[in-house]
Structure 1
């Protein structure tokens, strides 16, 4: 099995980590793309460790980037097959990081962007209960021609989820936000959402602020010390 690695940030407090935030980057990027969000959130989450692994495969559409799975839009069920194929290597990495830090499964938060959001939702809902999931500019992947409720039997965790999407996104249409919100609700997953006005396929300041505040509410021992 491919071993993942990527940039890490130790807790700003200098103490042992009490939670782990894992960033999952988008198609054609790598772990360096999101790790700066961890630096932005360290004031809110002083006891959190952060890691942003590089996805397991070279990206055909971006020679210097990585992908969690191929995207050609020519193969039926491509996204569904992709998230299923990539989940074991991601889960192995998450388990190893939690073990390395001596943390339980419920101390984990997953933060995805675009294709990374697809992975965060797919894996996070099928792990032992994580603390939280945040998805930026992404999508809940479902089997082709099936409603999200069809996945009910395989969903083993229902952590709080925050979804953020730009209303001018031309990569993953803004309509994906409500599809995902409604799909998660049908699965019994508590979900909050925010549409970022005037934002394309990216994360603006409001999205960053909302994400940090969401994790501060849900991660164990996350509140900043006085």
Structure 2
């Protein structure tokens, strides 16, 4: 399958960096490309791209914006995830298998965008929101050479228990999550941090107090600074 989505050219000069924004369930690339507009001043030589997930959510009203999914969430229940960690592991394992099916399409998009701007794999940063964070972590930790950074908002790590056997790179990671998130509980971020640390991939985190399932101004600012810092690291 082939995917595409909106793009933003660098604010100044040719592209020397690429930031790919991976949207969440029920949205599309148009929903997340605005992050690029917010970060252009701190990343003036970065190109931004926000691919649309390949599948529409069944029954989504025609003509409405968004409605796309990287994979189905039929078994997902945030209340169950809060109550039963064992069941959480089983649901995340199912979602990981689904993510593996769509990952090649996103990988192809990443490689094509790097080629478009004549950039190296290390010039890439992945940013995800919610289900997009799941995809960004799944792909970014398995790319070799590693991306410059992975920034995840309000998401989770799929298949964390077996990560140490699959991980191929350890890029800088920042996870940002609201402690009032009603869709992806804050516990998902802590579980991701534990699994990443166990796999030898330390990650930073920030908890946005009182924030639900979204991105606030502080998280946006921290994310932009993290990307700029990560791109500046010697590789």
Q: Normalising by structure 1, what TM-score?
A: 0.91
Could you say which residue in structure 2 is the equivalent of 1:10? 9
- Residue 219 of structure 1: SS of its match in structure 2? helix
Which structure 2 residues correspond to residues 30-109 of structure 1 after superposition, within 5 A? Answer: 30-60=28-58, 62-63=60-61, 64=64, 65-73=67-75, 77-109=93-125
Residue 115 (structure 1) aligned with residue 113 (structure 2): no
Do 2:163 and 2:195's aligned partners in 1 also have CA atoms closer than 8 Å?
no
List per-residue Cα deviations over 1:30-53 (Å, max 9, x = no partner).
001111110100000000000001
- Offset, 1:78: 2.7
Gap regions ≥5 residues in structure 1: 143-147, 222-226
Let me know the Cα RMSD of the aligned residues. 1.5
Which range is displaced more, 55-64 or 126-135?
Answer: 55-64
Do 1:71 and 1:78's aligned partners in 2 also have CA atoms closer than 8 Å?
no
List per-residue Cα deviations over 1:6-52 (Å, max 9, x = no partner).
11000001x11111000000001000111111010000000000000
Cα distance in 2 between the residues matched to 1:61 and 1:181:
35
* TM-aligned CA distance change 1:149 to 1:78, over 3 Å: closer
Which structure 2 residues correspond to residues 102-181 of structure 1 after superposition, within 5 A? Answer: 102-128=118-144, 129-142=146-159, 148-181=160-193
Cα distance in 2 between the residues matched to 1:10 and 1:187:
36
- Residue 95 of structure 1: SS of its match in structure 2? helix
- Counting matched residue pairs gives 214
Gap regions ≥5 residues in structure 2: 77-89
Do 1:18 and 1:220's aligned partners in 2 also have CA atoms closer than 8 Å?
no
- Offset, 1:182: 1.0
- Offset, 1:220: 4.6
Which structure 2 residues correspond to residues 203-222 of structure 1 after superposition, within 5 A? Answer: 203-220=215-232
- Offset, 1:86: 1.1
- Residue 98 of structure 1: SS of its match in structure 2? helix
Moved over 4 A (4+): none
* TM-aligned CA distance change 1:50 to 1:166, over 3 Å: same
Do 2:193 and 2:202's aligned partners in 1 also have CA atoms closer than 8 Å?
no
- Offset, 1:121: 0.1
Which range is displaced more, 65-74 or 18-27?
Answer: 65-74
More helix per residue: 1 or 2?
Answer: 2
